[in-house]
Amino acid sequence: MKTKKIFLLTAVLSVQLSFAQFAKVVDKDGYVNLRENADAESKIIGKVNSDEIVYVFESDPTHKSWANVSNGYIHNSRLKYIKSYQAIPSTVRDANKAIFKSGNIKINIVSGKFNFKENEKDFSSTLHGDYYKEQQVWGIDGTIPKTHYLSITAQIGDKTIQIPEKEIENLFEVNNKSTTCYYDRINDTLYISMLNSDGAGTYVALFTIEKGEYKGRTLEIPF
C-alpha cells in the first residue's frame, strides 16, 4: 500500500510539473500588478518588478490567460517564459555531471555523494525547518541528504562565471537529468534550471547569469 501511495504521489507531481515553469516579468511600465484572483477586476495585492523571476504553478484551465504564481495571479501577457528562449543542448547528463554546449556557450555542472557524517555539525533544526550552514535546506524531507552540487560553471565567450559555493551548498538530492539551460541572446542572459529530489522534497531552482555576471537564484517548491 505504501508503494502504491508513493507511485500515485509521483504521478500527480509529474503531471503538475509538466505545466509549471519559470518566467520573467516583462512590462513597459516597469512592474506588473499581482492580483488576488485570475481576474482583471480582482483586488491588487502587490506588484512585481520587470525582469523579476517568478515560478508559474499549474493554472486552472478555465483561466488560461492568467498565471498562478506565489501569493497571486499575473496576466500571461506580462510574462516571458524561460523555456521560450534558445535551449542549450546537453552533451552529457548523468548522476555525476551535466554539460551543455552551443557555440561559444558551455555550462559544466558537477555533483557527487554528500558525506553527512563529516558535515552533520553544520545542520540544525528549528520550528521553521532544517538548516545547513544557516541556510534553509532544499531537497530532503526528514531524510539524510545523499547527493549535492560540487560546482556549477558557465563559459560565455571569453568569460568564465562560477556560481558561488554559498548559492549551491544547501541544495541536495541532485537530478542532473532534469536540468535544462536557456539563453536569451538579445539580453545576453543565461538561465540554468533544475528540478531536484522527489516526493515531498521536490524543489526547482533557477540560476541567472546576465552579461557575464551572476545575478542570483530563484528557489520554489513546485506544488
Contact 154, 160 (CB under 8 A): yes
Who contacts 111 (Cβ-Cβ below 8 Å, separation ≥6)?
95, 96, 97, 147, 148, 149, 150, 174, 176
pLDDT of residue 121: 97
pLDDT of residue 41: 96
Contact 57, 68 (CB under 8 A): yes
pLDDT of residue 20: 72
Secondary structure class of 66 (helix, strand, coil): strand
Tens-digit pLDDT string for the chain (223 aa):
444 444 444 444 444 444 479 999 999 999 999 999 999 999 999 999 999 999 999 877 888 899 999 999 999 999 999 999 999 999 999 999 999 999 999 999 999 999 999 999 999 998 888 999 999 999 998 899 999 999 999 999 999 999 999 999 999 999 999 999 999 999 999 999 999 999 999 999 999 999 999 999 999 999 8
Contact 60, 97 (CB under 8 A): no
| pTM score of the predicted model | 0.90
| Length of the chain in terms of residues written | 223
pLDDT of residue 58: 83
pLDDT of residue 127: 86
Long-range own/partner contacts, residues 210-215 (CB < 8 A, 24 or more apart): 212/156, 212/157, 212/159, 212/161, 212/188, 213/161, 214/161, 214/162, 214/163, 214/164, 214/167
Residue carrying the nine cell digits 563559459: 155
Secondary structure class of 15 (helix, strand, coil): helix
